[in-house]
Structure 1
Amino acid sequence: MLEALNSWHMGHVFYAYRTHPWHERLVSQEVLAGWLDLNQAQLSRTESGKPPQDLAKLMRWAHTLQIPADLLWFKLPEAKRAATTEPARKQLRPEPSAKPDRAQAGGLLPVVVNGRTVLVPVDAETIAASGLADVVRHSVDEFTTHATERDPMNPLNRRAFLRSGVAAVALPGLGLDELQHVASALDDAHRYLDGPVVDYFRRVLEKAKRDDGALGAKKTLPVMLGLLGAVESQARDVKPSIRRELLTVGAEAAEFSGWLYRDIQQPQAAVFWYDRAMEWAQEADNPAMQGYVLLKKSQMAYDERDALRMLTLAQAAGHDRWKLPMRVRAEVTQQEALGRAMLGDPLAAVRAQLAEAQTLLNGASQNEPEALGAYFNAQTRLLRDAITYTEAGKPSYAADLFRDVLSAGTLSHRDTGFFNARRAAALALSGEPDEAAVIGKASAAVAYEVKSERTVRVLGEVLQTLDRWRSRPAVREFRESLTV
């Protein structure tokens, strides 16, 4: 059950629940479907298809199966957490060393709009400064209790949950004077959802991006799924001009969610959100985002070691029709160099393309920190160069590049772990087993802390390279660190 819950796929949870030995005999799809208000065919598709994304359904199903709230990848209302009793928790208790998630420090403030209660996200600083902690806690409990009494199988309706889903992040800068406007927009999108509310969604996205490097994808994804649900819901009702703005933010959020799913090694979900990002970018008439998504698909092809597809996607991303910012053009050019290195092009040609990427990056504006691809800077370029040189058969040179960048200590916690894994790979290929093992062990500790399956996969490849040195003490310790 824990493995199924950690997959973030409710269909896998259903299957694990039905086949769990605790039941003494198999629970049929027909029986479980009846409990979940589904039919057998719907349950079968849910178990074998893409991860369900409808947060209201996820909440209802979790409530029906009485899954402990602290094991879920999305946020239940506080009243429901009390309903998941201690005996249930003992069956699915995470490891004792797990630390509580302190990133989600905000709350929900009920605001009455047209006689209905709307829960509005409030950041932790506003709650503390305004003395609202008790009000927020008790009023959310009361709201949830009333909703449960109306429909015990559906603790909150979809729109109410979308509001709380976005609130999973502690968003700075939301003052009390803004609450009524945001609440009104969430309640009546056509009338009230305007530029400032779209900016609010963008701030949720930007904070999630900042949190990702420190906390990892699994703690960031619930916020993004709440935001994406809000975009999908509200985009149906807004005015056309606002819809384009909203879908622009939605495209960026979908692209970022695709990356998060890549990090936890769920490629089908990643492709789904990349495709949604492309669709929304097309409707929003945002050509740069369309080219950017092609770049991201090329990078995902590298994860799958599909060199030819990676190269052709990078070439497609570099087409003039996309009107890419200079910084993204630099990243696309470097990605094409990586594809050529994997396909065995001459080292001189690969180096020439890397030099072109550097020239493009040097010409990019440094005054647009929020521009598309803002993360691609001089350090990122050097790290990607190192990956390219590894693929081009120059692992010793690549290991030195990795060392130089990582020694500065400026990367996020998650990225430090990932690029140390790449450094360990280069060292292993260079015939430096002890150093590769020591760095790989340190990388594994970070990977398990932030739950980066992508990093773990790279470390598995390093261990295979080190197999001929498997009797060395450092390599044995590294192997043990990957099998705990």
Structure 2
Amino acid sequence: MGERREGLVRARKAANLTQEKLAELLPADEKSVRAWESGRSEPRPHRRDRLARLLRISPARLEELLREGTATDLREPPPAAPSVLLPVVVDGRPVALPLDRATVAASVLARLLPALGDAAPPAAPTTEWDAMSPLSRRSLLKNGLPVAALPALGIGSAEHVARALENPRRYMDKTVTHYFRRQLDQYKMEDGERGPAKTLPMTLGVLDIIDRIARDATAEDQRDLLQIGSEGAEFAGWLYRDRRQREDSLYWHDRAMEWAQAAGDSTMQGYILLKKAQVAYDERDPRRMLILTRAVRSGPWSLPQRLQAEAAQQEARAEAMLGATADEVNRKLDVAWKLLDDAGPVESPLGAHFNATLLNMQTAICYTEAGEPRRSVELYEKTLKETQFSRRDYGFFLSLMANSLALSGEPDQAAKTGLISAHRAAETNSRRTKEELRRVVGVLKPWHNRPDVRELREAVNG
């Protein structure tokens, strides 16, 4: 059972809503609202946008409040959400100093700082924050735009984004779309090192703003926004996937598909199907994997060859899980390798991540699923290098290698490898990796009394 979510209760009361009234407006039953506030459950993904609006907070802030009642099994305490970030200068550099509201209210700061509601001013130099017009500052704060990167954006662009929030038809242009794309690209780059707990709230904040502006933008601007939003929503789906929140992951993948269709982006539609097939693998659902990957390969998507290669590998993996022979699996993998070899330079940003190193990792997974774990181990030992992956991804592939070692009858080495993986999972808050390690512990049950195996079990279950 989770802990009571006091922040969620305060947000409801600040919005002048009773549990009964909130349930009526959503609509939901009052019992569900009580369960959310007590930490016993969470609202379903399709309710969260409306819930955030009724509580007059951003979706990113709602995610923070929901995490208050969720006990993490990765030994990372939920980040405290400061009420006010006070910009100060330390050694000539601006730093955001967190202060709680009680401290502010009891000091002279109460007369100097605006009423900020649930948003906080950005961790940006005071000169740049002060240089913005009061209207722009209010717009950014009111809409919960993650403006921690304000200095990189530039004060002129920040003003423009703020105006676009107030009047999309007049102020929406390439400056705004470039800002959103740059922000999302930055979050994607940071994800592998920081993990979803730190990246997800910022991503959801940007997606909420894109959604708001797109509703009133011109048709051309709307297409641009929805195309960017589709990529961002798919990324949010991935972040929830790494947190092992399947319903939230599928919700954002569905949202990404909706926006890709509205934007007329057929390549993105095929890409989302491929990502949904990967979610099906996490759930060990090979039949769904096969349906989705065949749709990826046969549909009218015009996918880059690198993504076609990834889809061919995914199809090989699904067939291996359904009992295909090693020869049949190898023939499918040969198709994937040929597509990758013929791809040449990166044709699209969507396929930029897929290279020979990643295909080697996925080939190793296929070997294990085809009943050849020793062959898989040999491929991992040859190609899995920490320098070629983010901390999170390296830890994930180590968990798969540990599983192959366990299936090969090497319990001590499997446990040692699993312990390194568990450390990376804790650093990046990757529940997906932790889930794979639980599978490893299950395979290692016959050797449960060995010291290394016992240590891994304690690390995973502790």
Q: Give the TM-score, by structure 1 length.
A: 0.75
**Cα distance, 1:81 vs structure 2:** 6.1
| Separation in structure 2 between the aligned mates of residue 426 and residue 74 of structure 1, nearest angstrom | 41
Indicate which of 311, 315, 336 corresponds to 1:336.
315
Corresponding residue number in structure 2 for 1:286: 265
Structure 2 partner of 1:78: 85
In the TM superposition, residue 76 of structure 1 has moved relative to its aligned partner by 5.4
Q: Does 1:256 align with 2:235?
A: yes
* Secondary structure of the corresponding residue to residue 367 of structure 2: helix
3-state SS of the aligned residue for 1:38? Answer: helix
1:7 is aligned to: none
Q: 2:306 aligns with which of 327, 334, 338?
A: 327
Relative to structure 1, is the Cα distance of residues 385 and 121 closer, same or farther in structure 2, using a 3 angstrom cutoff? Answer: farther
2:382 aligned partner, one-letter code = D
Any residues of structure 2 matched to 1:340-379 within 5 Å, and which?
340-368=319-347, 371-379=349-357
**What is the alpha-carbon distance in structure 2 between the residues aligned to residue 171 and residue 315 of structure 1?**
44
Map 1:134-145; keep pairs closer than 5 Å. Answer: 134-135=126-127
In the alignment, the residues of structure 2 paired with residue 64 and residue 299 of structure 1 have an alpha-carbon distance, to the nearest angstrom, of: 29
Question: In the alignment, is the contact (CA less than 8 A) between 1:338 and 1:350 conserved in 2?
Answer: yes
Quote the Cα distance in structure 1 between the aligned partners of 2:301 and 2:353. Answer: 19
* Pairwise CA distance, 1:223: 1.0
- CA drift at 1:483: 2.8
CA distance in 2 between partners of 1:451 and 1:408 (Å): 18
User: Aligned residues: percent identity?
Assistant: 39
Aligned partner of residue 235 in structure 1, secondary structure: helix
- In structure 1, the partner of 2:429 is 451
1:176 aligns with 2:155: yes
Conserved? CA contact 1:75–1:165, under 8 Å: no
Superposition deviation, residue 237 in structure 1: 1.1
Equivalent of residue 18 in structure 2, options 31, 34, 37: 34
Shift, 1:139, TM fit? 9.0
Contact 1:171 1:204 (8 Å CA) reproduced: no
Q: CA RMSD in A?
A: 3.7
Corresponding residue number in structure 2 for 1:102:
none
Gaps of 5+ in 1: 5-11, 19-28, 87-109, 111-118, 128-132, 148-155
- Asked if 1:478 corresponds to 2:461, the answer is no
1:425 corresponds, among 403, 419, 422, to 403
Give, in whole Å, the separation in 2 of the partners of 1:425 and 1:475.
Answer: 12
What is the rounded CA distance, in whole Å, between the counterparts of 2:452 and 2:252 in structure 1? 40
What's the counterpart of residue 302 of structure 1? Answer: 281
1:316-373: per-residue Cα shift (whole Å, max 9, x none)? Answer: 11124111111111111110001011001121111111111111112224244x6213
Deviations, residues 405-445 of structure 1 (Å, cap 9, x unaligned): 22362100000111000000000000000000001011111
Cα distance, 1:182 vs structure 2: 2.7
The equivalences for 1:79-478 within 5 A come to: 82-83=99-100, 133-135=125-127, 160-162=141-143, 164-168=144-148, 170=149, 173-368=152-347, 371-407=349-385, 409-478=387-456
Change (3 A) 1:35 1:72: farther
1:136 deviates by 5.6
Give yes or no for contact 2:150–2:158 (8 Å, CA) kept in 1: no
Structure 2 vs 1, CA of residues 351 and 75 (structure 1 numbering), >3 Å: closer, same or farther? Answer: farther
1:71 deviation in Å? Answer: 4.4
Q: 1:161 to 1:419 in 2, by over 3 A?
A: farther
Q: 1:248 to 1:16 in 2, by over 3 A?
A: closer
After TM superposition, give the deviation of residue 388 of structure 1 in Å. 0.8
Q: SS of the residue aligned with 1:345?
A: coil
Quick one: structure 1 residues 470 and 172, their matched pair in 2 at CA, closer, same or farther if it must change by over 3 Å?
Answer: farther
- Pairwise CA distance, 1:17: 7.7
Shift of the 401–53 alpha-carbon distance from structure 1 to 2, 3 Å rule, reads farther
State the secondary structure of the residue aligned to 2:22: coil
Secondary structure (helix, strand or coil) at the match of 2:216 reads: coil
Deviation of 1:120 after TM superposition, in Å, equals 12
Match of 2:107 in 1: none
Alignment check: 8 A CA contact 1:35 1:64 kept: no
Q: Deviations over 1:162-184 (max 9, x none)?
A: 3x43325x377423343333332
Partner letter of residue 371 of structure 2? G
* SS of aligned partner of 1:78: strand
Q: For the structure 1 residues 58 and 85, does the alpha-carbon distance in structure 2 shift closer, same or farther, using more than 3 Å as the test? A: same
In the TM superposition, what whole-angstrom CA distance separates every residue of 1:116-163 from its partner, at most 9, and x where no partner exists?
Answer: xxx9998x7xx5xxxxx23467899x989xx9xxxxxxxx88x7443x
Asked if the contact 1:74/1:222 (under 8 Å) is kept, the reply is no
Q: Is the 8 A contact 2:160 2:175 kept in 1?
A: no
Flag the structure with more relative contact order, 1 or 2, with Cα contacts below 8 A and sequence separation at least 6. 2
**2: CA distance, partners of 1:64 / 1:378:** 41
Distance 2:157 2:7 in 1: 44
Gaps of 5+ in 2: 70-76, 87-96, 104-112, 114-118
Question: What is the aligned residue count?
Answer: 408
Taking the aligned partners of 1:180 and 1:479, their CA distance within structure 2 comes to 53
Measured at CA, do residues 64 and 381 of structure 1 come closer, stay the same or move farther in structure 2, by a change above 3 Å? closer
SS at match of 1:323: coil
| Deviations, residues 181-212 of structure 1 (Å, cap 9, x unaligned) | 33322332111111231111111111111010
Over 3 Å counting, the alpha-carbon distance change for 1:242 and 1:386 in structure 2 is same
State the distance in 2 between where 1:362 and 1:58 align.
52
2 CA distance for matches of 1:76 and 1:229? 21
| 2-structure distance, mates of 1:269, 1:316 | 23
Asked whether the 8 Å contact 1:421–1:443 carries over to 2, the reply is yes
Mapped partners of 2:273, 2:20: distance in 1: 38
Amino acid at match of 2:415: A
Contact 1:221-1:257 at 8 Å conserved across structures: yes
Give the direction of change, closer, same or farther, for the CA distance of 1:137–1:36 in structure 2 (3 Å limit). Answer: farther
Residue pair 2:83, 2:120 contacting (<8 A) in 1 also: no
Q: Which residue of 2 aligns with 1:50?
A: 44
